[in-house]
Structure formats: C-alpha cells, structure tokens
Amino acid sequence: MRVLLIHSDYIKFKAKKKAIKAAEKIEKPYGELENVLIAFIAVEKVDEKNPDSVVKQLIAELRKTVKKVDAESIALYPYAHLSSSLGSSSTARKILDKAYEELKDEFKTIKAPFGWYKSFELRCKGHPLSELSRTILPEGEEEVSEALKAEKRLKSHWYILDLDGRLIPVEKFNFKGHENLKKFADYEISKVRAVKEEPPHVKLMRSHELVDYEPGSDPGNLRWYPKGYLIKNLLEEHVSNIVAENGGMRVETPIMYSCDHPQLSRYLDRFPARQYTLKAGGREYFLRFAACFGQYLIKHDMTISYKNLPLKLYELSHYSFRYEQSGELVGLRRLRAFTMPDMHTLVRDMTQAKEEFLNQYGLSLRWMEDLGLDYEVGIRFVREFYEENREFAHELIKLVKKPALIEIWDERPFYFVMKFEFNFVDALNKASALSTVQIDIENTERFGITYVDEDGKEKHPLMLHASISGSIDRNVYALLENAYLEQQRGNKPMLPLWLSPTQVRLVPVSEEFNEFAQEIADELDKNRIRVDIDDRNETIGKKIREAEREWIPYILVLGEREKKSQKFKVRIRRSGEQRDMSLKELIREIKDKTGNLPFKPLPLSRFVSERPRFV
C-alpha cells in the first residue's frame, strides 16, 4: 500500500461520475472536514496476501500521525495514482471499509467513495510534518524501491565495444583471447546473483584470521580481526589519498535519515537498493546505502559559484547499509554493512562532466594497478546518450586497451545517463563491480542544488557519483579470490607487498639469536617495514612452513653465519627464489616495491609466541 498523508486546514470533495463498474453505491456524493489528516491511499497487489495486516498497520500509522500533527479528523481517500501495481477493487474496498469502521468511533472520519471520479479541494498547512509518504507492506513482505522494480522490468541490449570503436552484439563477438570477458558477459546477462557454493575467499579470510562472520548480528555484518583491519585501513587511506590529491574535500555525514524528508524519500525510489529501516521516537528512519544523502544536503546549503566548479565532496562512509537478499550473502563479496569511499562532483555542464569522468576513470585505473588485479570493463548507457557520445565511449575503451561489455537501455530507468564499472571475475565466475563513476542528470534539481553563473543567475549543475575503489570490503574479497586463482595457475598465492600484514618474518635458529633478531627487526621497523619474529620453540622447518602458509613475502633465517657476515639468504615468495642480500639491499627492494603507498605498523605483537588465535 502507498499512502500520502497531508495535514490540511480542510478538505472538500464531491463524487461526479463512476470510474469503474465496481464503483461503490453512495447515498451522499460529497464530504467535508476541517483540521484534517487526509490519507490518499493506493491498495497494491502485494496487499492481497494479507489485507488484515495492511489494515492494522494503516490504522496504527494514522493514529500516530493524527496525534503528532494535532489533527481533529481523518479523511480516507482512495487514490490509484500513487501506484502502478494496483490490487483488485474488492481488496481495496475491503481494506478501506475496514479501516473506516475501525477509525470512525475514535476520530471524526469520512471516506471518499471508491471507484468514482471526484473533484476535491484542500489547503495544506505547510508545516514540516504536513506532507508525509508511507509504504505499508503485509507482514513478511520486503519493501522494494521503484528503481529495483524498474530494474526487473528493464530491457537491456548487450554489446561488446571493441578497440576499433565497433559496437558488436554479444552473440556475434569472437571471445577468443577474451575468456574472462565472456564470463563477465554471461554473468551480467543472466542477472543471477545468488551463490550456490562457498567461494574460495571465505576459507582464506578465516584461515588467515582477517575477517569472519558475526553470529551476534544480522547476516552480512562482519567482524574484522587485527590483520584484516590493517589491510582494510591501508586500502581506506590509499583511496582517500587519491581523492585528496585530486581535489576532493572530505566531509562526514550521518548514517541515518528520516523517511519523512520529502526529497530523500523520493530518492529512495530512484536508487536500485534495498533499505534497512528502523523506528525511534515515533518516527521512521532509514540507514544510508551510500554517502549521497548527507552530501546532497550539504551542497543544498552551500553558496557555489561557477568558479568553484568542478566541486568535489568526499566521504569514507563507515558504514553504508543495503538489505541484500539472503542467498547473495556469502563472505565479503556482497554485504549488508560495508565501507564505501564516496565522492560527488558538481560540474557545470555535460562537457565538464565528461572531462571529470575521464579524470576519475584514470584514477580508477591507477587503483586497479596498485592492487594488481585483472578486471573487465562494463559501461552502461541510455541509448540516446550513447548515440550522441560514441567517440567518448570509444575513448574509454582505448584507455584500458581492451574491449568492454556495453549495456544499453532504450529509456532511462535511474537518475544517471551512463556509468562504468571495473569488475573482478572470481573463481566461481561471478563478477563484482569495484571502481565506478556515474553521470547524474536528475538529483541536483531534486535537492535544490544550484550554482551562480557568470551572468549572476542560479543554475542547476550536473553531478558525478564516484567510488574510485568501490566497497573496501569487496576489494579484500577480490584480493583473496585473486590469490586463489593464482594458486590454481601454479603460482604462489599472496597479497600485494604493501598490504601484507607481515612483510618480513625473522626466524632465529635458536633462542640465543633472538636478541640479534630484535636488532634486525628494529632496523626494519625504523624503515617502516612490518617485521615480526618467530621466537617459538619449534623446528626451523615448521617455522618456515607456517610462514609460507601465512603468505609472508620475505623470510630470513638467522644464525651464526648471518650474525657474522650480516648477509642473509632471503626466501622471496613472489619469485620462489632464495637470494643473498644485505639488510640495506632488502630494505631498498621493499621500499622500491611499496613506493609511496600507505604504511601502517604491525597489527599484532612482534613475537609470534605472544599472539592469540582468533579463529
């Protein structure tokens, strides 16, 4: 059921003519009330599953709102225009009649006749709670946004855009040499997101004590252990640095917003995501599914000149929430609570939008290179926009130097006219979007965001939505899945050096060399290298095997020879070789490979013997 509530000074209506054969018989064709809460109601198909539940919720909502706005009466007004998925007339009449019977003895209540064309007149009071919208669902039913419904109805046309700029229907493209692109295309076209078996990264995230399920919370809300939090934190810092270098101004906004806010409630229906909702103090709230809301409201209140454009606000949202379907919640790939770096850029016009899009596309390429991940490109267009911007689309393909999957819609179902995604294809041939940028042509007007042009006139800018990395949690998933795929190819699995929780493991041959190990560790630590010492009373072979199982990039065995010569036989995981190196040479190699990427100290005790087990 869709309900529009208006607190009005008065309402007057009069039935004019039957609109449907099933119109109810009426004795009195008109009605009138003052200081009235008007409930415009559309009964939907889903309400037929449990009409009594819908009536109960409707009455509770009306009772609560009448008291909140201090209205003296209630008008129930059937209004089919609120929904495109109307229930049967018999169900609608049953719900409206039952609600009327329940309310009439408690409040002064009238019901406008069902199935008639009516004239009506009202005067909205205009206070903050005078216009409210509500969606009521039968118990057990999930609220779904109009955008999600549109996504299900959406007719997509699928192509491959090749390096020569040719748009080739997917079924006619030769995927030889582009097998991963074929997997990505098959996954996207199928639109099947549920996971039937456990992805390899789940075992890895637990065995490496990075992240785990949290049985005390809702599924899709995870716990992060020290090593996993280190990786997550490094990724967060890196993407935040990239954005800051590119002029992004960092802000922080609330994680929950009122469902009563008119612009926000309408935006919920334009975004293809399921929401968490909660009630507090008699009001309904939703948990943000991106950092859009707070940034929109900040920009609405700003004074912006054309000289300020492009203008970029950025938030690292801890956390965003999406009520993903249960069959999709496995490991880190799709979560209900996640960390999303979110940047919104105001631009003057489409020319500037495309310039910024290219810039942010380049930043996303840099991100993927720093993670060492292979990816496939997906770009989605409204057809009219693609036809007008073919060269722009081709330019994107030339930058990545490989063909991309193109989805084209005949009409625009969402607020954007185009978006790109860099997608990682995992061991189960499931694709997950990481980096993404969208061109939004709708929301600056919806939220009253303006800038002052050279002529002194206020204008609505366009807006880019960008997540240079995509969800941080999903990046960890991709890194672990990538390590597994490398192992399947016969290579040693590992994380990028700058993200390895321990970069160097020192293995003293006996207790008498522990002090020497500490001296070496101090020197490495001074050079911002994460180093630990396996000081346990175990054999050297076992210590090395366990270091290998932990994917430690560099392993140094320390004994009398190393202490005297200050030369070390270094086990290098990536190449599989053992190489004689001085400490300076080792430090230089690590620094060359990590460059200016972020650094954090060791997340656990330096001594392996002192560490607890988390899993």
Question: Angle at Cα 140 formed by Cα 138 and Cα 141, nearest 5°?
Answer: 60
Dist CA 299 CA 46 (whole Å): 37
Name all domains of the chain by residue range, CATH numbers in brackets.
Answer: 2-141 (3.50.80.10), 152-480 (3.30.930.10), 497-610 (3.40.50.800)
User: Is residue 109 within 8 Å of 100, Cβ to Cβ?
Assistant: yes
User: Is residue 409 within 8 Å of 387, Cβ to Cβ?
Assistant: no
User: What's the first-to-final CA gap in the chain, in angstroms?
Assistant: 46
- Kind of pairing, strands 2-18 and 131-135? antiparallel
Count of C-beta atoms within a 10 Å radius of residue 70:
11
User: Is residue 78 within 8 Å of 92, Cβ to Cβ?
Assistant: yes
Dist CA 95 CA 78 (whole Å): 10
Q: Would you state the structure tokens that stand for residue 76, as one six-digit string?
A: 């129930």
- Under-50 pLDDT residues of the chain: none
User: Is residue 277 within 8 Å of 259, Cβ to Cβ?
Assistant: yes
CA 313 to chain centre: 17
Length of the chain counted residue by residue: 615
CA 550 to chain centre: 30
Tokens 């009005």 belong to which residue? 8
The pLDDT score that the predictor gives to residue 269 is: 60
10 Å CB burial of residue 423 (0-12, 13-18, 19+) is buried
The pLDDT score that the predictor gives to residue 197 is: 82
Dist CA 485 CA 492 (whole Å): 10
| Phi then psi dihedrals of residue 40, to 5 deg | -80, 125
Find residue 291's DSSP bridge partners.
Answer: none
User: Is residue 119 within 8 Å of 16, Cβ to Cβ?
Assistant: yes
Q: Quick check: helix, strand or coil at residue 534?
A: coil
DSSP string, 394-434: HHHHHHHTS-EEEEEESS--SSEEEEEEEEEE-TTS-EEEE
Dist CA 192 CA 187 (whole Å): 7
Dist CA 438 CA 413 (whole Å): 14
Q: Model's pTM, two decimal places?
A: 0.77
Question: Angle at Cα 484 formed by Cα 481 and Cα 487, nearest 5°?
Answer: 155
Interval 522-572: pLDDT, tens:
999 999 999 999 999 999 999 999 999 999 999 999 999 999 999 999 999
Residues with Cβ within 8 Å of residue 375, at least 6 apart in sequence? 368, 422, 423, 424, 434
